[in-house]
Amino acid sequence: MRNKPILILAGDPKSIFFEIFFKFLKKEKKLKSPLILVASKIILKNEMRKFKFSKKIRFINSQNLEKNKLNNNKINLINIPYNLGHKKKYLKECFDISCKILKTGFTNKFVNGPITKTDFLNKKFLGITEYIAKRFKIKKVAMLIYNKELSVCPITTHLPLKLVHKRLSKKLIKEKVELINTFYKKNFNFKPKIAITGMNPHCESILKVNEDTKIVGPAVLSLKNLGYKVDGPFPADTIFLKQNRKKFNVIIGIYHDQVISPLKTLKEYDAFNITLGLPFFRISPDHGPNILMLNKNKSNPTSLIKTIKFLDEK
């Protein structure tokens, strides 16, 4: 198959995924890569009726994927049975099938729809990034929220703020920079210019230990000496000013909201989440299930559209 399929795990049964997925299908007619949806046929059909979306469904046997002549004339569906009230079991089976397919090498393109992490992960993992990395026995990963003009990456992901300083280390900063640099060189053929924020307000602290001078600064110097285009630490309250951010391709922050909140303010839905370090592309729209918008047909599909179009070019 010339263009490897894009495997799409629909995600949480109660989410805006199908709404934005249908909007995507209506808008994008010329994809090179076949789409394979991993979801419940009952949920899919119910959502199609709800949003008055009409398209035939082709049921796919996950055991014989190579035998299927796939195209996007129909919705290619791997049906995962869903029993009301058994969401965790359903999502685990969706991931089981998806991971099994990815391990065969049939495709290297994987999208998962929004998932309520607290319900599914049961506090065993910080996020889906870590959950998938564990399933593939990968220890070094990074969460890159990608936008063509400006991307961001948190050193720590969904970690409570009071624990961030305990997790921060020179080694962890170097790992993220190395993964980001590899991704940009492999996919875009250039070394990215990277800014790293400080942890403390204005990179200052009244405490004896200042993480920015003890950890972040030395890590930046070490990376510079290794030839990476990195600078910092920068105060997080000014690095996103226009004259500052335009100097960089990526801004790395110490914790999740330090960089993701500014990017969402600047780019809104024009970004998506890529897990770096995996042996395949794992991407998800940069938003959650958004249950407050269920059934309103007002959700913005831009992040999912950008996600699938990015993978279609790979």
Domain parsing of the chain, residue ranges: 1-138+278-314, 142-276
Residue 1 has pLDDT above 50, yes or no: no
Q: What is the pTM of this model?
A: 0.94
Task: State yes or no: pLDDT of 253 exceeds 70.
Answer: yes
Contacts of 97 (CB under 8 A, 6+ apart): 38, 62, 78, 80
Burial class of 108 by CB neighbour count within 10 A (0 to 12, 13 to 18, 19+): middle
Mean pLDDT of 194-217: 93
Q: Is the pLDDT of residue 257 over 60?
A: yes
Architecture of domain 1-138+278-314: 3-Layer(aba) Sandwich (3.40)
**CB neighbours of 31 closer than 8 A, spacing ≥ 6?**
72, 308, 312
**In the prediction, which pLDDT does 2 show?**
61
Q: What pLDDT was estimated at residue 30? A: 86
44-60 in b/e form (b: 16+ CB < 10 A) is beebbeeeebeeeebeb
pLDDT digit string, tens, across residues 267-288: 999 999 999 999 999 999 999 8
pLDDT of residue 46: 96
User: What average pLDDT does this structure show over 77-91?
Assistant: 93
Quick one: CATH architecture of 142-276? 3-Layer(aba) Sandwich (3.40)
Judged against a pLDDT cut of 90, whether residue 3 lies above it is answered with: no
**Taking 90 as the threshold, does the pLDDT of residue 209 lie above it?**
no
Dump pLDDT digits (tens) for 93-111: 999 999 999 999 999 999 9
Contacts of 306 by beta carbon, 8 Å cutoff, 6+ apart? 270, 271, 272
Per-residue pLDDT band for 36 (boundaries 50, 70, 90) equals: very high
What whole-number distance in Å separates Cα of residue 154 and Cα of residue 130? 13
Of residues 117, 90, 116, 57, the one with CA closest to residue 294: 116
Task: Give the whole-number percent of the chain exceeding pLDDT 70.
Answer: 99
Domains 1-138+278-314 and 142-276 share a fold: yes
DSSP string, the chain: --S--EEEE---SSSSHHHHHHHHHHH----SSPEEEEE-HHHHHHHHHHTT----EEE--GGGGGG----SSSEEEEE----TT-HHHHHHHHHHHHHHHHHHTS-SEEEE----HHHHHTTSSSSHHHHHHHHTT----EEEEE-SS-EEEESS-S--HHHHHHH--HHHHHHHHHHHHHHHHHHHSSPPPEEEE-SSGGG--SSS--HIIIIIHHHHHHHHHTT--EEEEE-TTTTTSHHHHTT-SEEEESSHHHHHHHHHHHHTTS-EEEEETSSSEEEEESS---GGGTTSS----HHHHHHHHHHHT-
> Which residue, 231, 222, 137, 235, is CA-closest to 172?
222
Q: Side-chain half-sphere of 27: how many Cα atoms within 13 Å?
A: 14
CB 126 within 8 Å of CB 157: yes
Higher-pLDDT residue of 258 and 84 is 258
pLDDT score of 295 = 87
Q: Which residues contact 235 (CB under 8 A, 6 or more apart)?
A: 197, 198, 201, 202, 203
Q: Which of 28-42, 58-72, 191-205, 216-230 has the lowest mean pLDDT?
A: 58-72
pLDDT at 292: 85
Average pLDDT over residues 141-155: 97
